[in-house]
A and B are shown apart, each in its own frame.
Chain A
């Protein structure tokens, strides 16, 4: 089943009077359960592509389908609902809510989706266990290392059982060991839950974890290959 389908997608940004293309006619399909790396140098359009896939932005041209639904012209509220129900995000800078504990950060999407307290407690504990930081549940982000924060972010991204997890440079701010551990967690969760993972990176060590690589250059897909 196609989780993502980009059809001739373009995205231009206007800076002053100058219009700069970030994506130029991208066609791409991602199937359910894939573990895909979007790679390419800085400014190649990786983040723009993830933002379009995550319904955080709208394309200038072309169509974006998520789970078979054309999301190109959805209004902001419908896009918010779709993000809440279908997509989990992991950002480069961890992006946890500063005043909330690890537990509360993971609980947040469940609160937004209206899950009951018992259900929330069970799910949060399960996820914190899965990413290996149960003992840090009551700690706030400023009391945790970067690697621990990114684990919390992964647990939060998976809280509502999303179809798709989008990770933008998830290891960029981590040392080699923590970066490797984060990637191993993502691979394991992808295999255990069947959740589709797409992550943007330009770190060659991280790319080796991907079973599929989509390479972007100057807003165009220049390579799209699956690995064994």
Chain B
């Protein structure tokens, strides 16, 4: 085998231009696939993590009859003792934070116009409020005992011509399904970088939200954040109790997860097409090489090289070329992923994300790639194997010629 490898390596160096062109084809194709995969997976994982961070948490405990689409505030749909549930969840080692939240729908109005909003009643010092606390761009954050303050996004404030310190009216449905209205002062403005979310979401301190909607100390859900995303199913199972419904991030982001899976299906089809193009280039190159080297194969056969050795020699050539191409492709693809991971791709601004997706999916304005080492290893191995398979026909073709026929090419 070693001697065949030596001969094959020498052959690769003989037609440097052809070897280089094949290498470039493999390298560019694989780099494209790796960079695209890194970007798509990064964008998807980023969207899921953002959604978990700002909206869903890793696990949610809800009342069994709670209907999230209707944003129900009926007592029977809400959690009776959310603080006790949060404290129980908090005792688990996997749990980073657990906090009650109350969701309601309302209409935020100024003198001139009004807009439909989702009202989040949150505990201001809780970890669930951290993205908005950290994203404060004007004014101050809500205090737990604030009875007249509201937090809105800068984007919404710009749309309505508002600033921190201005008063707004908030019309909200209550648990008795009777609307109530009150005036609030905008304490501060936040910006999460998630256009669809920011435009539709305002915050009240949990206690004020509970009082305003007349639900007592009830909450829509207890949102649980974990140290590790993988622990969601185990924690959900542990928190399950009669009368409650426990959902994991996967259930809560079903639309996003399904979208991810169908998008990945399309991407894998594209990867296959790119790999097939690589395979055709490799097969074509090797076939040309076989035609050009007919006389050499005759010489090698005359020197005693067997058909299977000639076939092995071509496969080794392809395997070596493939291995170098794959290494270069991984390097170039990783550079592409690095660039997309640090610079990102800006999708916000002119694109109205709210028109494209539901506000329940918190898409960021800029999407970033992520290195996918395991997937890169699999894609590289598949690319290399496809190169080997592509070399089989030319290699077999090379062995079909009888030595005497090959020598006639002399």
Interface string of B297-326 (1 = CB under 8 A from A): 001111111110100000000000000000
A148 part of interface (Cβ distance < 8 Å): no
A222 smallest CB distance to B (angstroms): 25
A108 part of interface (Cβ distance < 8 Å): yes
Judging by beta carbons under 8 Å apart, are A98 and B304 in contact? no
CA of A99 to CA of B302, assembled, Å: 18
Q: Which residue of B lies closest to A85 (CB)?
A: B304
B407 part of interface (Cβ distance < 8 Å): yes
Judging by beta carbons under 8 Å apart, are A111 and B7 in contact? yes
CA of A40 to CA of B321, assembled, Å: 48
Q: Which residue of B lies closest to A99 (CB)?
A: B14
> In chain B, residues 1-47, which have Cβ atoms closer than 8 Å to a Cβ of chain A?
3, 6-7, 10-11, 13-15
CA of A89 to CA of B303, assembled, Å: 8
**Within the complex, which residue of B6, B295, B309 is in contact with A95, where a contact is CB–CB below 8 Å?**
B295
A57 part of interface (Cβ distance < 8 Å): yes
A97 part of interface (Cβ distance < 8 Å): yes
Segment among A24-32, A74-82, A128-136, A174-182 that sits at the interface with chain B:
A74-82
Judging by beta carbons under 8 Å apart, are A56 and B302 in contact? yes
> In chain A, residues 82-96, which have Cβ atoms closer than 8 Å to a Cβ of chain B?
82-85, 89, 91-93, 95-96
B403 part of interface (Cβ distance < 8 Å): yes
Judging by beta carbons under 8 Å apart, are B304 and A109 in contact? yes
CA of A82 to CA of B302, assembled, Å: 10
Judging by beta carbons under 8 Å apart, are A111 and B3 in contact? yes
Interface residue tally for chain A (C-beta within 8 Å): 30
**Within the complex, which residue of B11, B299, B404 is in contact with A51, where a contact is CB–CB below 8 Å?**
B404
Contacts of A112 in B (CB 8 A): 3, 303-305, 309
Judging by beta carbons under 8 Å apart, are A93 and B410 in contact? yes
Contacts of B6 in A (CB 8 A): 111
B365 part of interface (Cβ distance < 8 Å): no
**Within the complex, which residue of B296, B302, B306 is in contact with A77, where a contact is CB–CB below 8 Å?**
B306
A224 part of interface (Cβ distance < 8 Å): no
Q: How large is the interface on B (under 10, 10 to 19, 20 to 34, 35 or more residues)?
A: 20 to 34
Judging by beta carbons under 8 Å apart, are B296 and A97 in contact? yes
Judging by beta carbons under 8 Å apart, are B14 and A98 in contact? yes
**Within the complex, which residue of A81, A93, A96 is in contact with B304, where a contact is CB–CB below 8 Å?**
A81
Judging by beta carbons under 8 Å apart, are A100 and B306 in contact? no
Judging by beta carbons under 8 Å apart, are A56 and B304 in contact? no
A215 part of interface (Cβ distance < 8 Å): no
CA of A100 to CA of B293, assembled, Å: 13
Contacts of B410 in A (CB 8 A): 91-93, 95
Q: Which residue of A lies closest to B305 (CB)?
A: A112
Contacts of A100 in B (CB 8 A): 10
CA of A92 to CA of B407, assembled, Å: 11
Judging by beta carbons under 8 Å apart, are B303 and A83 in contact? yes
CA of A95 to CA of B305, assembled, Å: 15
A5 part of interface (Cβ distance < 8 Å): no
Q: Known contacts A95-B295, A112-B3, A114-B3; decide if A80 and B10 are in contact (CB<8 Å).
A: no
A34 part of interface (Cβ distance < 8 Å): no
B407 smallest CB distance to A (angstroms): 7
**Within the complex, which residue of B3, B295, B301 is in contact with A80, where a contact is CB–CB below 8 Å?**
B301
Contacts of B3 in A (CB 8 A): 111-112, 114
B398 smallest CB distance to A (angstroms): 14
CA of A91 to CA of B295, assembled, Å: 11
A3 smallest CB distance to B (angstroms): 18
Q: Which residue of B lies closest to A156 (CB)?
A: B303
Q: Known contacts A91-B410, A92-B410, A114-B3; decide if A97 and B299 are in contact (CB<8 Å).
A: yes
Interface string of A40-74 (1 = CB under 8 A from B): 00000000000100101100000000000000000
Judging by beta carbons under 8 Å apart, are B303 and A84 in contact? yes
Contacts of B305 in A (CB 8 A): 80, 84, 112
Judging by beta carbons under 8 Å apart, are A57 and B404 in contact? yes
Q: Which residue of A lies closest to B301 (CB)?
A: A80
> In chain A, residues 166-191, which have Cβ atoms closer than 8 Å to a Cβ of chain B?
none
Interface string of B108-143 (1 = CB under 8 A from A): 000000000000000000000000000000000000
B306 smallest CB distance to A (angstroms): 5
Q: Which residue of B lies closest to A97 (CB)?
A: B296
Judging by beta carbons under 8 Å apart, are A80 and B7 in contact? no
**Within the complex, which residue of B14, B299, B304, B407 is in contact with A84, where a contact is CB–CB below 8 Å?**
B304
CA of A226 to CA of B280, assembled, Å: 59
B22 smallest CB distance to A (angstroms): 16
Judging by beta carbons under 8 Å apart, are A56 and B403 in contact? yes
Contacts of B14 in A (CB 8 A): 98-99
**Within the complex, which residue of B15, B306, B404, B407 is in contact with A91, where a contact is CB–CB below 8 Å?**
B407
CA of A73 to CA of B239, assembled, Å: 80
**Within the complex, which residue of B303, B403, B404 is in contact with A109, where a contact is CB–CB below 8 Å?**
B303
Contacts of A156 in B (CB 8 A): 303
Judging by beta carbons under 8 Å apart, are A99 and B306 in contact? no
A143 part of interface (Cβ distance < 8 Å): no
B288 smallest CB distance to A (angstroms): 15
> In chain B, residues 315-350, which have Cβ atoms closer than 8 Å to a Cβ of chain A?
none
Among all A-B residue pairs, the 7 with the closest Cβ atoms: A84-B304, A99-B14, A111-B3, A80-B306, A83-B304, A57-B404, A56-B403
A-B contact pairs, 6 of them (CB 8 A): A51-B404, A54-B302, A89-B302, A89-B303, A111-B6, A111-B7
Q: Which residues of chain A have a CB within 8 Å of any CB of chain B?
A: 51, 54, 56-57, 76-77, 80-85, 89, 91-93, 95-100, 104, 108-109, 111-114, 156
Q: Which residues of chain B have a CB within 8 Å of any CB of chain A?
A: 3, 6-7, 10-11, 13-15, 295-296, 299-307, 309, 402-404, 407, 410
Known: A56-B407, A83-B301, A156-B303. 4 other contacts (CB 8 A): A56-B404, A76-B306, A95-B410, A112-B3
